[in-house]
Amino acid sequence: MRECKQDENLAKCTCTYEPCSRKGLCCECIMYHQKYGELPGCLFPPEVERTYDRSIARFVSIHK
Ligand code: SF4
């Protein structure tokens, strides 16, 4: 089984939502947002990420 790289992931995490227990646990982060039809914060540019709108619609709107 592969080892979790939480510390390494945390160093690269661009999410500004505090506190979040899923930070650095990318698999949990993806599963959590997928459940709500969303994407992880790191897939959004900083000005959108900080709005906490992680919807797929918002993601599509910025990539048109
Ligand atoms: S994107 Fe969502 S689940 Fe992932 S670290 Fe940020 S607030 Fe937590």
- pLDDT tens column, 4-61: 999 999 999 999 999 899 999 999 999 999 999 999 999 999 999 999 999 999 999 9
Distances (CA, A) of 37 to 5, 13, 54: 25, 20, 9
Phi/psi at 55 (5° precision): -70, 150
Ligand 1 atom nearest the C-alpha of 20 is 8
pTM, full prediction: 0.90
How far apart are the CA of 21 and the centre of ligand 1, in A?
8
User: Could you state, in order of their start, the residue ranges of all structural domains in the chain?
Assistant: 25-64
pLDDT surpasses 90 at 1? no
Residue 23 in contact with ligand 1 by CB distance below 6 A: yes
